[in-house]
Amino acid sequence: MSSGLLLVLVVAAAYLAAHVAFEFLAKRFTIVSGAEYLVLGVLLGPEVSGLIGAGVLDSFGPFMMLAIGWMGAAIGTRLDLAAMLRIRAPFYQVAFLQSALSLAVVAGVMVLLLSYALALPYDAVVVPGLVLGCIAAASSLSGLGVLVRRRLQRRPLVRQLQVASGMDACIAIAAFGLLLCIAHPGPPGDVRPPTPTEWAVISVGIGCLGGALFHLFLAGERNRDRLFISLTGAITLASGAAAYVRLSPLVPALLIGAILVNTTKNRHEITQVIATVQRPLYFILLVFAGAAWQPTTRSSLIPILLFFVVRIVGKLGSARIAARVSGMLPAVGPDWGRGLLGQGSLAVAIALNYWTFDGSLLPNIVFTAALVSVLLTDVLSARFIQAAIRRHDESTGAQLLSDADLPVGRL
């Protein structure tokens, strides 16, 4: 049987099984679908069965970049300012502190750990450590999606989780984008290498210019098919432009999504179209991420496993500190960070983006650490959130608090 045929069959069967079976599992056992595609990718990849060979991986390179960009655009569409302004400032304060702290703590610890475990100087592990920090900051909303159906979304804790997840995504993408600008290998040929600031301007420029132009391009378009074509072109072009100059497609795509959702009249249609494609693209991304995985050396196993532990500790600790500093502990409880332990599409996208980045340091370790974390937390992300809510209910006597009980703050 040809590898192409087997790939189509397996992906189709997995997708449909996931759709049918996990629909049931999500309702019955609060389990989120996704990580199984990662395992599937590993099994099909060159390291196990070899059905997806290196050539196939290379030929699907553009699709991987497009999927990464699409993730960014999907996150960008969540940045609807009108909706964001309706949420009170303390939620953002807690979310920002939590996110920045977890990134800094995990990055710092991972730099030390990588240096110690691999016997490398600090300057050789700073970039991978920081990328791991960005990956650690990212959290998944998929578990929340399962629980939202259970009418929990009005609770302050759930709102805090939604805000924090969005903030995690923005900070992780911004930090990762900036990092690639700093660690950029430079353009080929005799062109003067732009400075990191110039790369950052180029990265943001692609997003802002693209957002402005595509705003005009899409203006008033409500036909779903034409909108889909235009959006596909826009995101593909922006992702391709960023990948072409070896920057992260996440940053420009996020900006384009944010600009479109805030400036166009057809924001709902745009959000809907992007969301419709996001899920299948995420699954494809997971399959190829799994296939791209390569085993690391034994000495790197310890930092990989420790990353998982450090991230959990970092997330829980920074969430608690952020809530305490902002005076939000009564509203969200000390263990609200549990709801942010799940990882999903963004972590995979960042890891894969780093893995494909020219001149990246320790790409396999970073990639494996991210995949391990996603594998272990994605399925249970809804359960983490459920646990956070349960702990909060136990400690506060359940459901006492609403937005009115929150400390007053300004945006």
Partner 1 sequence: MRRSVILLLLLGAMELLRPLGSAGYGAQALLSFGFLILAAHTVGELAHASRVPKIVGYLVAGMIFGPSLLHVIGAEAIDRLEPVSDLAIALIAFLAGAELQWSEVRRRGVTFLKIMTVELAVCFAAIVALLYGMRGFVPFLATASDARVLAFCLLFASVAIVHSPAVTMALLSETRARGPVARTTLGVVLLTDVAVVLLFSGMLAIARAIAPPDDGGAALSLGMVIWEIGGALLVGVVLGAVVTGYLRFVGQELTFVAIIIALLGAEVASLLHVETLLTLITAGFVAENASRDGRGEALRHAMERSAAPIFVVFFAISGANIDLRGVGALVVLALPVVAVRLAAIWGGTRIGTWWAGMPKEEGRHVWMGLVSQAGVAIGLATVAAEAYPVLGEALRTLLLAVMAINQLFGPIFFRRALAASGEVTEEGADPAGRAPEPAPS
What residue ranges bind partner 1 (CB under 8 A)?
A: 1-2, 4-5, 8-9, 11-12, 15-16, 19-20, 58-59, 61-62, 64-66, 187-189, 191, 194, 202, 206, 209, 213, 216-217, 219, 222-226, 228-230, 232-241, 243-246, 269, 280, 356, 358
- Spell out the residues 6+ positions from residue 23 whose beta carbon is closer than 8 angstroms to its own: none
- Angle at CA of residue 40, ends 38 and 306, nearest 5°: 35
Please report how close the Cβ of residue 190 comes to partner 1 at its closest, in angstroms: 9
Please report how close the Cβ of residue 192 comes to partner 1 at its closest, in angstroms: 10
Does residue 236 sit in helix, strand or coil?
Answer: helix
Please report how close the Cβ of residue 46 comes to partner 1 at its closest, in angstroms: 16
Could you tell me how many residues make up the chain? 411
Please report how close the Cβ of residue 231 comes to partner 1 at its closest, in angstroms: 10
Choice between 98 and 239, CB closer to partner 1: 239
Please report how close the Cβ of residue 273 comes to partner 1 at its closest, in angstroms: 10
Choice between 28 and 225, CB closer to partner 1: 225
Choice between 233 and 295, CB closer to partner 1: 233
Choice between 58 and 123, CB closer to partner 1: 58
349: Cα within 13 Å, side-chain hemisphere: 34
Measure the CA–CA gap between 91 and 157, rounded to whole angstroms: 10
For residue 248, give the DSSP letter. -
Please report how close the Cβ of residue 80 comes to partner 1 at its closest, in angstroms: 20
Please report how close the Cβ of residue 213 comes to partner 1 at its closest, in angstroms: 5
Choice between 81 and 275, CB closer to partner 1: 275
Measure the CA–CA gap between 243 and 69, rounded to whole angstroms: 9
Choice between 100 and 208, CB closer to partner 1: 208
- Spell out the residues 6+ positions from residue 19 whose beta carbon is closer than 8 angstroms to its own: 33
Instruction: Select from 80, 84, 78, 92 the least CA-distant residue to 406.
Output: 92
Q: Spell out a b/e string for 279-300, using b for 16 or more CB atoms within 10 Å of the CB, else e.
A: bebbbbbbbbbbbbbeebeeeb
- Spell out the residues 6+ positions from residue 38 whose beta carbon is closer than 8 angstroms to its own: 286, 287, 289, 290, 348, 371, 374, 375
Q: Spell out a b/e string for 73-97, using b for 16 or more CB atoms within 10 Å of the CB, else e.
A: bbbbbbbbeeeeeebbebbbbbbbb
- Angle at CA of residue 193, ends 191 and 195, nearest 5°: 150
Choice between 164 and 292, CB closer to partner 1: 292
For residue 120, give the DSSP letter. -
Chain mean position to CA 37: 16
Please report how close the Cβ of residue 374 comes to partner 1 at its closest, in angstroms: 21
Choice between 20 and 398, CB closer to partner 1: 20
Please report how close the Cβ of residue 209 comes to partner 1 at its closest, in angstroms: 6
Choice between 256 and 312, CB closer to partner 1: 256
Choice between 206 and 332, CB closer to partner 1: 206
Please report how close the Cβ of residue 267 comes to partner 1 at its closest, in angstroms: 14
Please report how close the Cβ of residue 188 comes to partner 1 at its closest, in angstroms: 5
- Contact criterion met (CB below 8 Å) for 379 and 34: yes
Locate tokens 């600790």: which residue?
317
Amino acid in the structure at residue 196: P
Measure the CA–CA gap between 339 and 31, rounded to whole angstroms: 14
Choice between 152 and 208, CB closer to partner 1: 208
Measure the CA–CA gap between 372 and 364, rounded to whole angstroms: 12
